[in-house]
Structure 1
């Protein structure tokens, strides 16, 4: 963090002014300086006050009152008057900066060399996730076996519930709840559920540019609170249809990967994740699916459509509904449509045929059979009882 030259901290070294200096040849000399150096090996030292006026670009000033003392970095804001006997130099924020150095005619300049040189640390990315190729949520039953695959992209697996046995190039790993692992490029990896309980997990396949992927690949990470929150946010945004959601998802995933790279530099975390998070991913996914079904209840909704929109396999979708609602997705949709049909019949705005069409039933006959089987009364008979009452 640095201050601006307009801050009180800069008053130790100089001051600022607004209007450019009026040049008088008998008093001041103006020198134009163009620099792109971000590694500073020397400093100006004038015995008289001097002036710095940036004309093009944005810049910092590195300044101190002693050649072997502490130097401070300030963002240049407005024109500068530098006190006598200061040590300073200008560092461009951008590729290049042009400034005028205004000095007295009878100046006395010394150049002080820095050993080691000062190098300005730019804030630049060292990790880049250019693309997420696929993501999906999976619920696997006991005794599930996946014989393995390898591919030229990275793959992250996060277990939110249960235990997943996995291997990478014949090295075995165990992932419990809130654990995750990253498979590197072209590594053969297998997965299996050997316990008596099911296992649910999130998979993300992605490309990544970094200096050393060995810091995060082939290693089991147990989620800290910050990492878990980042994963939850990512999972929540996956199904968003808002504009720029893709950018937000990539940003969320960048945070996950960055926190994995930081993991070795953090101390041991003693606080455990709260137990109420156990069902979070399934609850969040199910909530999104149910909200979508409710919104689209007057449209034909297919299981394939739900799987595609929410990045979940058909078998996982079936398990999700069975475990949480004790029904199948198809039956849930059909029951919701039938419940909606009763409301539409009560409104008395549409015929039975129109209601069947509005709710996406394939025919009036199929709708009538379904309604009668579910409510033990036909649609027309139900209408008569409603209107009589």
Structure 2
């Protein structure tokens, strides 16, 4: 029997990236704008940005992504009330299928967020300087990168774009697309828990207080939250506190003692220790690093 080979089609092919960044920006951040002959997307991981582009003026909120096609002018400013964390990737792609992303912004679902996480992790493995290094326009492949990391960046990016394209092709409008984001009961429960935690960032919180506020059993709550987010309830709550602390530091409206009080820490010393344990730097060092990013960009 003669074996026949099947040629596999490639709908979206990316062989080169230009920049790949993960930024935490202050509320005062403003850009003059730019355009370039390659694709760019910006995913808002936290906070909100205000965008001006050839396709109009609009806001991109947490959990949303916006695409800029080649040679499209665009600029983005931080929302002062909600300083953003952004994933920004620019890349070359001549595939016809990319036309679906022209003038598009939309919400990212849970599966796609996991792909984004994998993509960012491999970006750290494959590229230098670090993705969070302030405003470096030239990136290089790491000489000592993990085996296959550059190929995984390519594959994860192509896979992510294919997932996006599939969803966009199935929907007639962005409003219908947003309605499909109401995913399973597990995701709904997790979102409710996170909302509850966000409302209690001003105080200390026990695990018992969390599950006493929901009708499901303790074991089911813990299991569901762990499966959906990848971490435990109290670990997630502590992360939320640190993320909120970062925002308050970047807003530059409160001193560290006031921030500690706002987040329910018993003392500035406990807050500083917790912050350093979570981020690897003191609040003061973190504030300096954010300011350095602004100064390096001017």
TM-score range, shorter chain: 0.5 to 0.7
Matches of 1:236 and 1:153, distance apart in 2:
23
Alignment RMSD, CA only? 3.2
1:328 to 258, 281, 285: 285
Contact kept? 2:47, 2:79, Cα under 8 Å: no
Runs in 1 of length 4+ with deviation above 6 angstroms?
A: 329-332
Higher normalized contact order (CA 8 Å, seq sep 6+, divided by chain length): 2
1:250 to 154, 166, 170: 154
Structure 2: tracts of 5 or more residues without a match: 126-144, 172-176, 195-228, 230-234, 243-274, 290-298
Question: 1:160 maps to what in 2?
Answer: 45
2:182 to 270, 287, 291: 270
Per the alignment, in what secondary structure is the counterpart of residue 32 of structure 2? strand
Per the alignment, in what secondary structure is the counterpart of residue 160 of structure 2? helix
1:131 paired to 2:24 = no
Count of aligned positions: 179
Deviation at 1:329? 6.2
1:145 paired to 2:49 = no
Deviation at 1:145? 1.4
Larger radius of gyration: 1
Matches of 1:251 and 1:185, distance apart in 2:
21
1:221 to 90, 106, 123: 106
Contact kept? 1:173, 1:220, Cα under 8 Å: no
Equivalent positions of 1:1-389 (< 5 A) are: 53-54=1-2, 58-59=3-4, 93=5, 122-169=7-54, 171-240=56-125, 241-264=145-168, 265=170, 268-271=180-183, 274-275=190-191, 324=279, 325-328=282-285
After superposition, the C-alpha distances for 1:200-226 in whole angstroms (9 at most, x for unaligned) are 101111011211433112211201111
Matches of 1:232 and 1:253, distance apart in 2:
11
Contact kept? 2:55, 2:103, Cα under 8 Å: no
Structure 1: tracts of 5 or more residues without a match: 1-52, 60-92, 95-121, 287-319, 333-389
Contact kept? 1:181, 1:217, Cα under 8 Å: no
Contact kept? 2:30, 2:77, Cα under 8 Å: yes
Between Structure 1 and Structure 2, the one with more helix by share is 2
